[in-house]
């Protein structure tokens, strides 16, 4: 069974950087397109970033373009989200997602999800 576990969340100040990690267990990560989403309580889930199976294609939500970068490390079965120039509006629970058939993007429903990790950005 595929499981995802995020790490690296925390509390930072506006303008700081933070790197989230997601470990996929139960299968080789190369079988899955990966993605990141975030959600604030009371609001809809928001697409953040998606990456293809071999990392050759990446996609980003409009609100994070130019500030966030996603990458994958197959030997470690990991995917990362590097976040720079963080803003208070980036505060949310961030979720890692995996899908064998579709690159996670806006309006997709990835098959596997992590538990989420809190990121809080102070002003």
Distance of alpha carbon 66 from alpha carbon 71, whole angstroms: 14
Say what the pLDDT of residue 64 is: 98
Say what the pLDDT of residue 86 is: 98
Say what the pLDDT of residue 65 is: 98
| 3-class DSSP state of 56 | coil
Phi, psi of 3 (to 5 degrees): -130, 145
Average pLDDT value over all residues in the chain: 97
Q: pLDDT exceeding 90 applies to what percent of the chain?
A: 100
Contact 59, 49 (CB under 8 A): yes
Say what the pLDDT of residue 114 is: 98
- Encode pLDDT of 24-78 as tens digits: 999 999 999 999 999 999 999 999 999 999 999 999 999 999 999 999 999 999 9
Contact 70, 81 (CB under 8 A): yes
Say what the pLDDT of residue 22 is: 98
């Amino acid at each position: 069974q595929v499981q995802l576990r995020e790490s690296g969340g925390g509390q930072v100040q506006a303008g700081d950087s933070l790197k989230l990690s997601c470990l996929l267990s139960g299968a080789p990560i190369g079988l899955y397109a990966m993605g990141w989403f975030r959600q604030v309580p009371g609001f809809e889930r928001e697409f953040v970033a998606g990456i293809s199976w071999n990392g050759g294609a990446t996609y980003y939500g409009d609100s994070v373009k130019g500030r966030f970068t996603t990458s994958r490390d197959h030997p470690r079965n990991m995917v990362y989200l590097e976040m720079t120039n963080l803003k208070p509006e980036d505060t949310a629970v961030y979720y890692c997602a995996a899908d064998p058939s579709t690159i996670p993007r806006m309006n997709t429903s990835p098959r596997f999800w992590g538990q989420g990790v809190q990121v809080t950005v102070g002003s």
